[in-house]
Structure 1
Amino acid sequence: MSQEFTRGATLKDVAEKAAVSISTASRLLDDRHASKTTETARRVREAAALLGYRRDYAASSLRRTGTSTIGVLVPRLSDAVMGIFYEEIARECERRDLSALVATTGDDPHRLRLAAQSLLSRKVDGLVLTTARTDDDFIAELRSAGVPHVLALRTDGISPSATTDDELGGYLAIRHLADLGHRRVGIVAGPTYASSATMRLAGARRGMLESGLDIDEELFAGNGFSVEAGEEAAGRLLGLPRPPTALFAFTDHSAIGAMTAAARRGLNTPGDVSIVGYNDIPLARHLPTSLSSVRVSLDLIAQGAVRLLLDAEEGSRVFPPTMIPRQSSARIRPV
């Protein structure tokens, strides 16, 4: 981590004494939150007073200079989910007379650090990141440096986050297909570094177990969220000697890729293979065969992320998903 992120050990001492995260201590010691009278705020201020802590604005890359701007980090804006999410963040910021700056990372750890440093150099008031990876320690570096931040759509289980209940979402998708009579369901999975993908997989496995579905490791394929990744993984699954009668794809984009793979094999959706996606992007309902999908409340997640970042709220926010059946999933044909 670059030295520009360093706040010094005293803020960490305050956070430890007050039993809060470093980012929470930083927010509550900001002059803009001087009117906060919660028990947490009182505890943080008392700890700062007892330790003789004085906020060093000159040493901080996040010193308040009236920018009233937050930085938003997303893998790519060409992804409909990320584009919609950023628009919701910008809408919530506008409601608060704030601005939002976005930077893309390509889901690459090196580009993530460069993008974050670029935003922080513009003295944003904090970061909203949809880019948390379980195989990278960048979020831990932000915590250690006391950089105000909130995770969104993904989580590391430590930093404040606003997400959907992805485990429940995966479970709902499988139960929907099981209720339609499908016993052999293929999983078009996502990248293992994304908590959203691992939780959807955990929920899918739970749904399979409870529904008595085949849990065959050959039915699990894929490691990406894109249309191309979905088409490749679905092609492998549909080419099995005993192909699945239904597919659950971890994003709507990969579900669209799965529909393409089915069509290339001369299969009809849902006549030959039912398909369920995830996120319920606007395109899902407008496809020639409308896509069944697990709806994620991107507006609520965006609002929750901004509140966690700017209102010094603690903990995390988890919003429930909803299964939306459409034409792409249907009752299995009798043999």
Structure 2
Amino acid sequence: MFVEVTPGSPTCGRGHGVRGNEVSPPSQERPNVTMRMVASASGVHVSTVSRVLRRAAMGEPPLSETDVRILRIAADMRYVVNPNAASLTTKRSTAFGVLVPSLTDTVLATIYDSVENTAKAAGFETFVANTHDDPAEQSRRIELLLGRHVDGLILGDAHLDGASLTALKRRGVRFVLVSRRSTDHLSITGDDHHGGYLAGRHLAGLGHRVIGIVAGPGWASTSVDRVDGCVAGAADGGVTIRPAHIVEAGFEVHSGREGAAELLSSPEPPTAIFTVNDLSAIGVYGELRRRGLRPGHDVAVIGYNDLPLSAELPVPLTTLRSPLDEMGRLAVETLLSLLEGKDMESVRLRPELRIRESTRP
């Protein structure tokens, strides 16, 4: 499912109260006019009015005709937004909390960059925190963010079991998962199973009959779904990937090196290796070099995510490209819709196979 939002681009003047392109001076404010009254007159949720007025106060242009209408009605009612007073009254911060396993991870950093830009365009700030994939640290960081009265959370560090997320939902906290899915919780991710399927089918189609997989941890959907997809894709190509040829290692460079060492030391070493991310694939490259083997010639290698450096390696890496920017954008847009009381569905974005020199017949 794809959610496409094409905002309009009308312009408006800068200031607190706005009438068309004119600024209404604060002295004309009627103290008894509330944001909720503006929302009622505009026929929208109060959170929408909050977002539009906050953008206007920051000198940002409206995003749509609805925004222009809200600004006109607010000016007609002589309402002047006061972000500080609104925050004290509603205990809302017009901010989102974002949790990631590690900001040194290029994938999550790219997603967060898109989250921050999209949130800023909507008049929201973002607070980001690392959890290092530690459930206890995740819980602690969530409480710190909720203590700041953030309006919602975007979580990039979800575990498949989703135990802590169920408790969070019971508390009425609005949140969206990004990059990883978890049980039945709302998420914006790539279609990792399909990406893995493309990798397995590609390797089988090249004639490889012994395929190895360097997997990540079993609690991460990005590993589980990609591995399952690769097994299914290879099977459709007439190749069975045996459990002994699936090594659970991790997402780091050293994980790929260690996983490849185990696979290549097996009684029947694979002629092709699929890794669940590009960093791990680079580790596989290192182990191949240590053994005097060449990627793409002696052993085919496929990564995942298409990091910028993947195409620049001495042997350019075949990989799956995930739409990371779109993930971040949709995560914010979905959370904004939740704040407006809308029902939303999870989104799976299709990856693309980028074939390079690391896979040859």
TM-score by length of 1: 0.79
Which sections of structure 1, spanning at least 5 residues, go unmatched? 1-28, 36-60
Matched with 2:34 is none
Q: Report if the CA contact (8 A) 2:177-2:185 is conserved.
A: yes
Structure 1 distance, partners of 2:239, 2:274, is 13
Which stretch of the first structure deviates more once superposed, 186-195 or 115-124?
Answer: 115-124
Match of 2:127, SS state, is strand
Deviation at 1:292, TM superposition (A): 0.9
Q: Residue 42 of structure 1 corresponds to which residue in structure 2?
A: none
Name 1:316's counterpart in structure 2.
346
User: How far apart, in 1, do the equivalents of 2:270 and 2:193 lie?
Assistant: 22
**Pairwise mapping of residues 7-22 of structure 1 onto structure 2 (< 5 A)?**
none
2:132 aligns to what SS in structure 1?
coil
Query: Does residue 325 of structure 1 match 2:340?
Result: no
Q: Given the alignment of the two structures, is residue 211 of structure 1 paired with residue 226 of structure 2, yes or no? A: no
Which of 332, 338, 344 aligns to 1:306? It is: 332
Given candidates 115, 138, 142, the residue that maps to 2:168 is 142
Q: Match of 2:270, as an amino acid?
A: P
Q: 8 Å contact 1:222–1:230 — kept in the other structure?
A: no
Matched, 1:126 2:152: yes
TM-fit CA distance, 1:118: 1.4
Q: Distance in 2 between matches of 1:226 and 1:63?
A: 46
AA paired with 1:236? E
Give yes or no for contact 1:269–1:289 (8 Å, CA) kept in 2: yes
The 5 Å alignment of 1:1-335 reads 31-33=46-48, 64-65=90-91, 67-135=93-161, 137-312=163-338, 313=342, 314-331=344-361
Instruction: Specify the code of the residue in structure 2 equivalent to 1:208.
Output: A
Greater Rg over alpha carbons, structure: 2
More displaced 10-residue stretch of structure 1: 296-305 or 91-100: 91-100
Q: Does the Cα contact within 8 Å between 1:132 and 1:155 map onto a contact in 2?
A: yes
- Report deviation, 1:136: 5.2
Look up the equivalent residue of 2:221 and give its one-letter code.
Answer: S
Q: Deviation of residue 66 (structure 1)? A: 5.2
CA contact (8 A) 1:165 1:319 kept: yes
Whole-angstrom distance in 1 between the partners of 2:190 and 2:180:
9
Q: How many residues align?
A: 278
Output the aligned Cα RMSD.
2.1
1:174 offset after TM fit, Å? 1.0
Amino acid of the residue matched to residue 326 of structure 1?
R
Identify if the C-alpha distance between structure 1 residues 258 and 32 changes in structure 2 by more than 3 Å, giving closer, same or farther: same
* CA offsets 1:83-107 (integer angstroms, 9 cap, x no match): 1111111121122232211100000
- With over 3 angstroms needed to count, the CA separation of the structure-2 counterparts of 1:63 and 1:328, relative to structure 1, is farther
> Are 2:295 and 2:315, in contact at CA under 8 Å, matched by a contact in 1?
yes
Alpha-carbon distance between aligned partners in 2 of 1:270 and 1:124, rounded to the nearest angstrom: 48
- Partner of 1:70: helix, strand, or coil? strand
Distance 1:63 1:186, change over 3 A: farther
Q: Deviations over 1:47-102 (max 9, x none)?
A: xxxxxxxxxxxxxx998445221111000011111111111111211222322111
Q: CA offset at residue 185 of structure 1? A: 0.9
Structure-2 separation of matches of 1:155 and 1:212 = 29
Q: How far is 1:321 from its partner?
A: 0.7
315 and 141 in structure 1: CA distance in 2 versus 1, 3 angstrom threshold = same
Report which stretch shifted further, 215-224 or 125-134: 215-224
Alpha carbons 1:62, 1:124 under 8 Å: kept: no
